[in-house]
Structure 1
Amino acid sequence: MSSLSAHEAVKASRRLVIKIGSALLVEKETGQLREAWLKALAKDVAALKAKGTQVILVSSGAIAMGLEPLGFDRKPAKLEEAQAAASVGQIRLAQAYQSLFGAEGMVIGQILLTIHDLENRPSYLNARNTVEALVERGVVPVINENDTVATAEIRFGDNDRLAARVAQMAGADTLILLSDIDGLYECDPREKADAHFFDRVDAITPEIEAMAGPPSAITPGTGGMITKLKAAKIALAGGCSMIIMNGHAPSPVMRLEAGERSTLFPAATDPMTVRKQWISSLMAPRGFLHVDAGAVKALRQGASLLPAGVTEVDGNFDRGDLVAFVGPDGHIVGQGLSSYSVEHATLMRGRKMQDAYEVLGHVGRSALVHRDDLVLL
């Protein structure tokens, strides 16, 4: 995707994450939802989905939506008051998404995350699998930081970086940051009218970072260009390209696809390649899954590892840990991240996936090791 322009990158994306800032969703003066804007965005997303693109939204706005009902004229300084505003605003925001996106024939799923959820391995896997299950069924996940419980110590601090972490977690091809500025300038264009604009940034150098200036403090959001560059680093590390554009006018995705000005940070590779390289680089598996010849053949044809092909389970591993696959000849044929603990893998050994409820007492994951989570050696 590195040779594509911004609008071509969007059109080529199989999975797209769109980050929506508070200033775009909520009128600063009134604290009211910009309903016409969100309705137009819903039409944008519906058009993307009609072309086969999977869309994930990362939405700010919960605190901003809760200020007016609680009598605040600005974001409160006290954490508990901001959390109270988020509690009220999150419901109002979810209702707006459900109503306006539902009118376009879409189903919305809400996910609230803290930084702990994406740094704790089991929680990360749960979040990733939930997102995967939603988008595979045509649902549009709307993800926000869980402001009602996140403390000052564990907050992402801005939804730009949350969006980048979500894009990385979801294996997205492109992340669009809808902002109140159309991209990266050499300096603040409000101070220098002829400031050079960058429509493409192939490498985030110290010189590029120096152009970002201080985080903005004049909008309902908490981000600035500095946080957007940090988000770009996260996204690019996951093989995800990132675009910054001014989203204030209606139908931002349609405008972007039509070639409206933006800044593209192109990824040098794709998300799956990055993930496979990471899994391949892992060492010291926590367990070994001995597999039969049929399982080896299926793996080499690109299949997931199913428990029916497992003949023996060794080690002491938990869900999400690295396990190696040992073929009938005793040689390691691959490795991956187990969807089950050693106890559950042992119980499922030699069984079909549809037996999971009978064996484990609950519905299991779709594979012992999913094909996206394994490599052959």
Structure 2
Amino acid sequence: MTKKRNIVVKIGSALLANLELLTPRYGFLQRLLEDIAQLRAEGTNVILCSSGSVALGLRIIGETPESAGVSDKQAAAACGMPLLLNAYKQVGHEFGFDIAQVLLTLGDFEDHRRFLNTRNTVHRLLESNVVPIVNENDTITTEEIRVGDNDRLAAKVAQMVGADDFVILTGVDGLYDRNPDEPGAKFIAEVEDVGMYMDATKGKSTLGTGGMETKLLAANMAQEAGVTTWIAQGEVDHPVSSVLDGSRRSTKILPHPNPLSGWDSWIANRLQMAGSLVISDSLAASLSGDRPIRREDVISMTGDFTRGDVLHIYDSKGIERARGLSDFTSEELRVLTSNPDTQAEQLLGYRTKGEVVRSANLVMLENRHLLWDAPEEIVGQV
């Protein structure tokens, strides 16, 4: 049996909600879902990652995008989600397909078991010919436990389902080498290294939480999983298929020719930093993933993490070198590193080799990932 093509489509709030009235834009939904119906008829699976619930709920609670605080946005999401799903359901019914809602939080991506459970649910929906509509559960998330933008959430979904293509529909026709409103701004049709354009991507949309910067961060995650990313204007007929068939202008971000395995990609592509380590320069210089990181290698650490969280690993200059799965809680690791001459078993009460990150759970970043800045508290310690 031929494997179906998987496409993840991320739709920004400004395409789904009228900026002034904060009501659903049914004309856009009509064009989008008609296009998706045609793609499905050709044998393509489509997963939607949809913003819009907060924007659509603001009017109901008497707030605006400018006035709304965190609790206002949570309440607005609760009011807006039924409106958003009802709009998708009404238009989707016209084109003969069913939809399903999948609400996620940061933990559903950062905890590997929950990540796999979510993947199984999405695959089961696709097997039943149902279109999954994925969104962050904004009603319950706070700053500490939220993904923060649907661009990176959608990239994690693309990684999760093994997508072939990741299409980001937005209000501009792609990436420029500077603000597109500036004279002489040059359109970028194809990108290999997103890091070259990060400085030109600051700012965000009025209704959404992410601008071009988050789109490039998301594209880098997709690259590592072997997914082609497209950034394109959404206000056109056939908004998805016209990107994929090359009939209109968009920015294509190429996948890495040697993508990471699913396990390594899950470790390397983080949404938040659980904790970090600074290791000795001698180890950093020779680090290859062939040997574990042991407690004697750790110079300093930061964060409150549990066993199984992913740690960001830095050298003494604050340059990120690797990411890996911790075998200890932060409390255990502090005890181990504070008592280097005492056996680990005596300190912790159970047998252990004292390996903080096993070699099998360590991913070297090399030159293919966008690096995270080291937390200020550990940079100051070395």
Question: So what's the TM-score if we normalise by structure 1?
Answer: 0.67
Alpha carbons of structure 1 residues 283 and 172: separation in structure 2 relative to 1, 3 Å:
farther
Please give the alpha-carbon distance, in whole angstroms, between the structure 2 residues aligned to 1:13 and 1:242: 18
Alignment match, 1:339: none
- From 235, 238, 242, give the equivalent of 1:255: 242
- Deviations, residues 112-150 of structure 1 (Å, cap 9, x unaligned): 001111111221111000001111221110000000011
Secondary structure of the 1:45 match is: helix
Alignment match, 1:363: none
Secondary structure of the 1:19 match is: strand
Please give the alpha-carbon distance, in whole angstroms, between the structure 2 residues aligned to 1:88 and 1:184: 33
Secondary structure of the 2:194 match is: coil
Alignment match, 1:374: none
**Matched-pair contact (CA < 8 Å) for 1:173–1:270:** no
- Deviations, residues 324-351 of structure 1 (Å, cap 9, x unaligned): xxxxxxxxxxxxxxxxxxxxxxxxxxxx
- Deviations, residues 88-127 of structure 1 (Å, cap 9, x unaligned): 1001111111111111011101100011111112211110
Alignment match, 2:197: 208
Q: How does 1:339-358 map to 2 (within 5 A)?
A: none
Query: Percent of aligned pairs with the same residue?
Result: 42
Please give the alpha-carbon distance, in whole angstroms, between the structure 2 residues aligned to 1:51 and 1:270: 29
Whichever residue aligns with residue 228 of structure 1, its letter is K
Please give the alpha-carbon distance, in whole angstroms, between the structure 1 residues aligned to 2:4 and 2:176: 26
Alignment match, 1:41: 32
For residue 61 of structure 1, report the CA deviation from its aligned partner.
0.2
Please give the alpha-carbon distance, in whole angstroms, between the structure 1 residues aligned to 2:70 and 2:239: 33
**Matched-pair contact (CA < 8 Å) for 1:63–1:75:** no
Alignment match, 2:175: 184
Whichever residue aligns with residue 211 of structure 2, its letter is G
**Matched-pair contact (CA < 8 Å) for 1:240–1:270:** no
Secondary structure of the 2:135 match is: strand
- From 63, 70, 86, give the equivalent of 2:61: 70
Please give the alpha-carbon distance, in whole angstroms, between the structure 2 residues aligned to 1:220 and 1:52: 34
Please give the alpha-carbon distance, in whole angstroms, between the structure 1 residues aligned to 2:199 and 2:73: 32
- From 186, 191, 199, give the equivalent of 2:189: 199
Alignment match, 1:141: 132
Alignment match, 1:223: 210
Please give the alpha-carbon distance, in whole angstroms, between the structure 1 residues aligned to 2:185 and 2:22: 32
Q: How many residues end up aligned between the 2 structures?
A: 267
Whichever residue aligns with residue 157 of structure 2, its letter is V
Corresponding position: 1:243 with 2:230: yes
Q: How does 1:31-180 map to 2 (within 5 A)?
A: 31-74=22-65, 76-180=67-171
**Matched-pair contact (CA < 8 Å) for 2:172–2:233:** yes
Question: So what's the TM-score if we normalise by structure 2?
Answer: 0.66
**Matched-pair contact (CA < 8 Å) for 1:215–1:227:** no
- Deviations, residues 254-296 of structure 1 (Å, cap 9, x unaligned): 432352110001113487x7338879x9999xxxxxxxxxxxx
For residue 44 of structure 1, report the CA deviation from its aligned partner.
0.5
**Matched-pair contact (CA < 8 Å) for 1:15–1:174:** yes
Please give the alpha-carbon distance, in whole angstroms, between the structure 2 residues aligned to 1:131 and 1:282: 35
Secondary structure of the 2:229 match is: strand
Please give the alpha-carbon distance, in whole angstroms, between the structure 2 residues aligned to 1:278 and 1:231: 13
Whichever residue aligns with residue 249 of structure 2, its letter is R
Please give the alpha-carbon distance, in whole angstroms, between the structure 2 residues aligned to 1:181 and 1:14: 26
- Gap runs ≥5 in structure 1: 1-11, 285-377
Alpha carbons of structure 1 residues 148 and 283: separation in structure 2 relative to 1, 3 Å:
farther
Please give the alpha-carbon distance, in whole angstroms, between the structure 2 residues aligned to 1:173 and 1:270: 14
Please give the alpha-carbon distance, in whole angstroms, between the structure 1 residues aligned to 2:211 and 2:4: 26
Higher RCO (C-alpha under 8 Å, 6+ residues apart): 1
Whichever residue aligns with residue 246 of structure 1, its letter is Q
Secondary structure of the 1:252 match is: coil
